[in-house]
Amino acid sequence: MAKDKGITVKKDEDMPEWYSQVILKSELADYSPVKGCLVMRPYSYAIWQKLMDFFNELIFSVGVENAYFPMFIPESLFAKESEHAKGFAPEVAWVEKKEEHEERLALRPTSETIMYDSYAKWIRSYRDLPLIINLWCNIIRWEVKDVKPFLRSREFLWQEGHCVYETQEELHKETLQYLEFYRQVAEDLLAVPVIKGEKTEKERFAGADNTYTIESFMPDGKALQMGTSHDLSQGFAKSFNIEYLGRDEKFHAPWQNSWGISTRMIGAMVMMHGDDKGLVLPPKAAPIPVVIVPIIFEDTKKKVLAKAKEIQKATKGKLDDRDHYSAGWKFNQWEMKGVPIRIEIGPKDVEKDQCMLVRRDTGEKVPVALKDIKKTVSDTLETMQKDMLDKARKKMESMIDSSDNWEDFQKKTKDKMVRVKFCGEPECEENIKAETGGVTSRCQPLEGADPTGKCFKCGKEAKMDMYFSRNY
């Protein structure tokens, strides 16, 4: 942020402008010369790295292995599953062929087709199952409107997992298990509360029998889809001739799922927790959880720095002893970058064998005896992680409502997420979207859904208990 002042707009007055200023001034990301493509600066990549570590630990615990596949997909492979090809067609960027005998190559918008071509070669018998592979890679979705850093861009980073199973029961159980892992990433790492649910037919992944989702609701009244897990049933297996010799000595089509989360998670975290001073990072996701800022005067410099170094050692924090910036300037910078705990120590504190501890989320400032600093910091980080999730959950719950009639629904969905009884018909859903100018179905909650009653819009028999809202 160099010489720039802080953020010049208030979050609740102009969220889009607030968001882009926070992203740039906290040095998370920068724009690039390529339209719709983002530069992830080291600060956001460090958060992504933490997310990768957290998620890898979860998936390794159930036997997932990471691999890599090419980003180019020959057109003939891409077109093999017709629903999938149709669904993604508008978003695909192509590399045109150089020679007559060659094929056009799609830049992967997702990797099902390139991976399942290999899966067809690798899977021979039930002994090869389950096959469970995850990719950390980049993705291209060329036709992106309304580009927004981390939330929507032409190229982004994600992970995509692709599993093959012997039975449908195993498929169903594991598809939900990966959704649960996503909930843990969102809530336990990023402190962003989510609803686990099931998509309508219209909002499903192209080629899937069912799509499960975690949805969060942002403070500006729009939902954000944070991660999805797709039940692909046997459709891709049949299109790609994936077969295995079963325990009964006969050939069968296996059952498949795919699941993904992306750098969009970072955007959700920024929007959910940030304030008028900048980012507010939950401790577990913060590249720098603790910063120590000594208050330097020439005559006491040595004493203060010595104590600051002791604190640094005890807390494993970052010591900001740059002497060409004032303490006040440093406070602003670390607040902008959302560092969870700031420790200040000046000559008067040294005399009292204490330091000042400041929480970024609440601004609360308390003196702490130097002998207690290690424990106090670790306890505060833990409390803060929990408090941030609780606060966000309360905020989200206050923005969720229900409705049983069309007029009321139209009013409430201006800035709320609204739960209704819904018929599930794609045509009814299309009408809702068109007549409201963009309200879409988000999900039917996995827990506590009660689909009995009449559709709030068309009056037909309801088949779902559905959340609707505007969305990113």
Q: Give me the least distance between CB of 201 and Zn ion, in Å please.
A: 13
CA 309 from centroid of its chain's CA atoms? 36
Least distance to Zn ion from the beta carbon of 412, Å?
Answer: 17
Q: How far is the CB of 212 from Zn ion (least distance, A)?
A: 22
Task: Give the Å distances, CA to CA, from 297 to 301, 326, 327, 351.
Answer: 5, 11, 11, 14
Residue number, 345 or 428, with CB nearest to Zn ion: 428
Contact residue for Zn ion among 416, 442, 457, 470 (CB under 5 A): 457
CB-wise, 286 or 428, nearer to Zn ion? Answer: 428
Q: Which is nearer to Zn ion, 275 or 465 (CB)?
A: 465
- Per DSSP bridges, beta strands 223-233 and 210-217 are antiparallel
Q: Which stretch binds Zn ion (CB under 5 A): 272-280, 325-333, 372-380, 456-464?
A: 456-464
Helices 15-25 + 264-273 axis angle, to 10? 110
Binding map of Zn ion across residues 387-426, x = CB under 5 A, - = no contact: ------------------------------------x---
Shortest CB 460 distance to Zn ion, Å: 5
CB of 450 to Zn ion, least distance (A): 16
DSSP for 357-395? EEETTT--EEEEEGGGHHHHHHHHHHHHHHHHHHHHHHH
Our finding on whether 428 is near Zn ion (CB under 5 A) is yes
Q: Which is nearer to Zn ion, 330 or 412 (CB)?
A: 412
From 147, 253, 370, 458, residue interacting with Zn ion (rule: CB under 5 A): 458
Identify whether the C-beta of residue 192 lies closer than 8 Å to the C-beta of residue 269.
yes
Q: What tokens does 421 get? A: 């009884």
Residue 462 touching Zn ion (CB under 5 A): no
CB of 198 to Zn ion, least distance (A): 17
Residue that the structure tokens 């600066």 belong to: 41
Q: Considering only 171-179, 214-222, 407-415, 455-463, which stretch makes contact with Zn ion by CB under 5 A?
A: 455-463
CA distance 204 to 228: 10
Binding mask 431-450 for Zn ion (x = CB under 5 A): --------------------
Q: Which residues contact 26 (CB under 8 A, 6 or more apart)?
A: 1, 43, 278, 279, 336, 337, 338
Contact 261, 135 (CB under 8 A): no
Least gap, CB of 202 to Zn ion (angstroms)? 12
Residue count at the site for Zn ion (CB under 5 A)? 5
* Complex with Zn ion: residue 195 or 423, whichever CB lies closer: 423
Of positions 77, 157, 171, 455, contacts Zn ion by CB under 5 A: 455
Pairing of β 155-165 and β 255-262: antiparallel
User: Going by C-beta distance under 8 Å and a sequence separation of 6 or more, which residues neighbour residue 320?
Assistant: 291, 292, 293, 294, 330, 334
CB of 454 to Zn ion, least distance (A): 9
Give Cα separations from 273 to 132, 150, 390 (angstroms): 34, 15, 11
CB atoms within 10 A of CB 124: 11
User: Please, which of residues 247-266 interact with Zn ion by CB under 5 A?
Assistant: none
Binding stretches for Zn ion (CB under 5 A): 423, 428, 455, 457-458
